[in-house]
A and B are shown apart, each in its own frame.
Chain A
């Protein structure tokens, strides 16, 4: 026999009497489970002050972190994707796009904007992972392409912040050709001798890694980011055994010679300013 017995089944408190905890006051680190106030967390650039875990953030946060007084001019804000293939998998692509636009309040997986970083001009193209896995389709390619046009015209350095699962399958070969398009445009930027800094963040894989993310004059990454061409699951299937610890992390990629530096987000703006100065003077 139990000592305690529930006399009535279920929850008996009426909804009116229910005690609500205010939403969004606390942030629990998904790595070390330590709890911080949301304000503290934001002040620390969304990096856990205990374990240095870099929470995935989007273009809004990166622009806020990078641009002086959060002032910037966005390009092609209203560019949205067409559906040239009339693609349908379990859902129509147009519906998927609409849902994502509503859910994320974004138009596609990348935003481009220029502004000042500690007084230095910079164009930033930043990917948003929330928008269909940060997948690269026509809009991502076109926005980067137009941003590069702007950079060449105004001699403004470029930074692309990658955060993507790769190409967007619903645009099939169109998304594949965005790799060609962005790389071709970057070759023009290179000829114009304008610096391009690629920032690889968690995760950067597939077609994005195999195009603009790896083509920076400087390739820098956030700590512990997943960076690779083939996804870890695919590699595991290929070799038929478990992957070594730390495989495809930013540290691994640095060790193998494909990154110049790993920079914590808390120091990003400061390091970037120095780099821009070194390029300029």
Chain B
């Protein structure tokens, strides 16, 4: 288990517990009472820490190396029925963006999402979950297919951004994302988008236009990562904590601002502490919203979806005098 810097007290207790168990093993002394006490203490400490995570600490949790990624959710939810589909039919198959059909409780769903690598080699192949234009175009191809066969779409968002490479620019990264925004707005089938980890900028939004946009409790979603925001506005990386606060990028803030439609609570200690529980909660949310959305007509859904995004923004009509002062 990897521990984040602010999880040090948990790590210490966990070490203590391991040691105690080892000693007990050797000396055959009954320590079950102490073990129980320690375990309770760990839970308490963990609760205490996780109850008051700062925005920056949540960003750290969202990037925890053991946090479940997109494929883990899909595999758990579809119980072996997931068929991954590849390629954008134009340039190639982007490993940073995955998608395909799968069955959840007898209902076919098109799953799409950015996929981060689970080890060093895979992280490179999957470009840390940063998709190229062909990734966004693959996603769009699959969404259009889902629409054609009247299947709902679930996108799982987890990306530090769209890939800022040379080829990505040559192949029109901007156009690929823009096209997805426009096309997703008009999709006739229900679309649910869930930010499961990092939701950075246009790279996240490129698969993020949904009837319901949800965020896991410790995920983040904004126009830029706190580090890059700090670099641009404060001209140093050091202000990332401040930037994380200022951007209001946490699930609770985004939900309060009505920029997302809801928050899915994580198990104590974050999604990685109990992935199975996390998957079940996500599944419950998906099925709940799909049922509600299916009750609407396609025209209604599109109208409400567009209306929702069009209501986002805070402007004032100021008379001349007010501006002058």
A interface list, Cβ under 8 A from B: 76, 78-85, 87-90, 101, 107, 137-139, 141-142, 145, 167, 169-181, 183-188, 190-191, 206-207, 209-215, 228-230, 234-235, 238-239, 243-244, 247-248, 256-258
Contact = CB atoms under 8 A, between A and B. Distances in A.
Given A230-B164, A239-B166, 19 more contacts: A76-B317, A81-B315, A85-B257, A137-B313, A171-B314, A172-B249, A174-B312, A180-B181, A183-B182, A184-B185, A207-B223, A209-B175, A213-B174, A214-B179, A215-B182, A229-B164, A238-B165, A244-B166, A257-B172
Contacts of B171: 256
Contacts of A76: 317
Contacts of B259: 173-174, 177
Interface of B: 162-166, 168-175, 177-179, 181-183, 185-186, 201-202, 205-206, 208-209, 221-224, 229, 232-234, 243, 246-249, 254, 257, 259, 305-306, 309-310, 312-320, 323
A234 B209 contact: no
Contacts of B320: 78
A88 B186 contact: no
Contacts of A191: 186
Contacts of B305: 184
Nearest to A98: B323
A186 B202 contact: no
B44 to A, nearest CB: 34
Contacts of A209: 174-175, 178
Contacts of A82: 314-316
A169 B232 contact: yes
Contacts of A175: 223
Contacts of B165: 230, 235, 238-239
A190 B222 CA distance: 28
A235 B164 contact: yes
B139 to A, nearest CB: 14
B234 A89 contact: yes
B272 to A, nearest CB: 25
A87 B169 contact: no
Contacts of A238: 163-166
Contacts of A234: 164
A181 B313 contact: yes
A78 B257 CA distance: 24
A177 B210 CA distance: 12
5 contacts: A169-B223, A177-B259, A178-B313, A214-B174, A258-B174
A187 B314 contact: no
Contacts of B316: 79-82
